[in-house]
Structure 1
Amino acid sequence: MERKKSVIHMTTVHHPYDPRIYHKQCRSLQAAGFDVTLIARRDPKRNEAGKTIPHIMLKTYKSRLARMVFGTYDAYRQAKSLGPDIITFHDPELMPAAWALKNKGHTVIYDIHEDYITSIMQKDYLSEPVKRIVASGYKLMEKFFTRSMGLSLAEKYYEERYPDGVWILNYPTVNEKFLQHERTGPAEDRVLYTGNVSHVRGALQHAKLPVLDPDIEVHFVGKCPGDLAEEMYEVAGSASGRLHIEGIDSFIEKEVIEERYLERNWLAGIALFPPTEHYKKKELTKFFEYMNAGLPVICSDFPVWKAFIEKYECGIAVDPEDDAAIKNALDYLREHPDEAARMGENGKRAVMGELNWETQERKLVRWYDALGGSGTSGEEQEA
């Protein structure tokens, strides 16, 4: 009997039950017959129910510097001791450890979740000269450490920087409960935002919706820093009672988020992000999840986003800084329930047909099946 290939996924930054790492990649590889282990930080509130991937727990550090030094070394030590066939890492700070493991003969894949260059350039606490220096330094470091590694790309446009990368796009796992759930009757005056909440993800744009519309209620389901939540309540002012934030200073698991989709007849899923280089080319995972749940999408009218919404006829793209346009979008969905339902069904069909994790899972499994020897990389695979 052929020995199962052993695979390690390691992260010092992401939550151990991160949807892309745990629920998609780890579980898909395990289902395909790989021996999968996760190396990730400890979750003090962890719920082991239904969790089947062995989890080697790293210490959680309050200091970022301590995590980058001691957490990285611990992840390296644990991975080295297991001696896996394939190692996949998910954080830039793990590049030196991954490089050392690569040099010891392991096949290594870097799963690139973010456009880290534009992420650096949008950090408000750094001056422009410092941003440019840090971004240039990151480019050089990445080029050195990731030579001859496989590169897994979560977004299509990352191929501009990584032409040898393999698209493993962050499409959603089709949720059968969503497919069976039918939107009946008029939608409630409630809109939903899921995922991490931050300034660059439109926290303040979304927080002012109750001010723009006297009837709308906005629900956030995802981790939100406590100080940002206070800022959002201040933006909403006297309408803050119609702002509901679930996840203040706490991670919300995928299963809980999925439950929230089914609890109400939402008017729309929202993604009114301010203009930034970091997000304008992305096809947000949020889009696919809203579509999977049959919700119309109201999002910013960045060219890539607008083209996506128009292609699938699944929502409305508006200027995130135009209050009147946002209010008109909300009113349109209220006043045209049949059209809103059609948008939701269009999105659901698109996810069922092509924009789903199963299409990416097949590529992932084929790729890992082909890997094995030192030096194998994504260059052998088609993107």
Structure 2
Amino acid sequence: MSESILILTTAHWEGDPRLNRHLAYLKNAGQDASIIALTGDGGTGRIRNAISAFGLIWRRRAHAVLLPDPELFVVGSLIGRFRGVRTVIDVHEDYARAASGRDWIPTLLKPLVAAFAWLNDRVARRVAHANLVAAPELAGRTSNVVLNIPDPSEFEQHPPALPAMVAYVGDVTIARGAVAMAELAASMPDFRFLIVGRVDADVRSRMESIAPDNLELAGRRPHAEAWTMISGALAGLSLLQPLPAYREAVATKLWEYCAAGIPPVGSDLPGQSRFLEKLSSDLIVRDMNEARSVLERLAGDRSWSEELRSRSRQLAEEEWERHRPDLAVQRVFAPRPMTRRRGDSSPK
């Protein structure tokens, strides 16, 4: 028996890779699942959208809901408890640590916001029916770890493109290495740098002023299209800056680069470094000179490049089989008897 499941978000776009992987896992298990992205501009719009999301839970539009945004966690889970809707929260990062890297939060308020984020997370895990986390370091006693490892069969492999192309997929921000990537492109005029992802106008202007000739900012694209665009890339970049939220992070794009057979090159942060050491410590870079050196070596040493491409794909395949995030999601949302209030109708 299948159940209706809604993935409700007010902060992610409908093409978000993690949410769409959850959607595919549920549909593959025969569940009636869909994504509703209630996105709006600015803080006021996000509040209105959160209220709309709570309304969908209250009206019992599904047997179960997945909530991936912290502003939905507590209230959404409480409404679900009251209305007999199974609620599952999906914790993507350490929100308390992430507060320190949010430029829009005034410096004096960051400790207060961090404390609230910590409390919100702890309360939500108690009131939700279940919780998913994106990394082991986020897990609590009752958490279900669902790593951001994609199914390698989703990705096609292509030989390196000519001229040499260096790629990045994901949101483009200063904290995620926007300026570092632009400066790297400017120092390597014979290489093409293709950046696919959402980028604010001020960041775009700054990057294009640094590297106007060989840097292409393609904007946000659907997941499959983005990875088709960068197929054949010499390397995939993840130049995260040393902020508290990123120190232990393993960016999803690292797994995706590997699944596509693209060697990842990343900044020297503990989480990324542990990942990259599985392939080669030479892929860990501490500054622009080291980044330029490893890219030039990948372009000039075909044997090393092919070895890393093969090793990257193999790592993705092995880790997918080891962790099987699809089975973890399917277990959490497996159909189960529902308790209903007298007179309640079925979700519709």
TM-score for both structures, normalised by structure 1: 0.81
* 1:17-36 mapped onto 2 (5 Å cutoff): 17-21=15-19, 23-36=20-33
Give the corresponding residue for 1:15.
13
- Maintained 8 Å contact 1:205/1:273: no
1:232 to 194, 202, 207: 207
1:171 Cα offset (Å): 0.9
Which of these residues, 240, 245, 258, is aligned with residue 278 of structure 1?
A: 245
Unaligned runs of 5+ in 2: 340-348
Determine if the alignment matches structure 1 residue 148 to structure 2 residue 127: yes
Change (3 A) 1:91 1:299: same
The answer to whether 1:158 aligns with 2:138 is: yes
Q: Give 1:188's aligned residue.
A: 163
Native 8 Å contact 2:194 2:230 kept in 1? no
Change (3 A) 1:72 1:124: closer
C-alpha distance in structure 1 between counterparts of 2:175 and 2:16, whole Å: 20
Q: 1:293 corresponds to which residue?
A: 260
Which residue does 2:333 correspond to in 1? 368
Match of 1:71 among 40, 49, 72: 49
Cα distance in structure 1, aligned partners of 2:158 and 2:110: 48
Deviations 1:139-160 (A, max 9, x none): 223333442321100122212x
Distance of aligned partners of 1:177 and 1:309 in 2 relative to their CA distance in 1, 3 Å threshold: closer
Separation (CA, whole Å) in 2 of partners of 1:337 and 1:315:
15
Q: Does 1:220 align with 2:200?
A: no
| 8 Å CA contact 1:187, 1:266 repeated in 2 | no
Aligned-residue CA RMSD in angstroms?
2.3
* Residue 224 (structure 2) pairs with residue 255 (structure 1): yes
Match of 1:325 among 290, 314, 327: 290
Q: Give the C-alpha shift of residue 119 in structure 1.
A: 1.4
Counterpart Cα distance in 2 of 1:313 and 1:365: 34
The corresponding residue for 1:351 is 316
2: CA distance between counterparts of 1:94 and 1:224? 25
Letter in 2 for 1:156: P
In structure 2, the residue matched to 1:378 is: none
Q: Distance in 1 between matches of 2:271 and 2:7?
A: 31
The alpha-carbon deviation at position 361 of structure 1 amounts to 0.4
Q: Secondary structure at the match of 1:241?
A: coil
The residue matched to 1:15 in structure 2 has which SS? coil
Total equivalences in the alignment: 337
* Partner Cα separation in structure 1 for residue 29 and residue 230 of structure 2: 29
TM-score, with structure 2 as normaliser:
0.89
User: 70, 83, 94: which one pairs with 1:115?
Assistant: 94
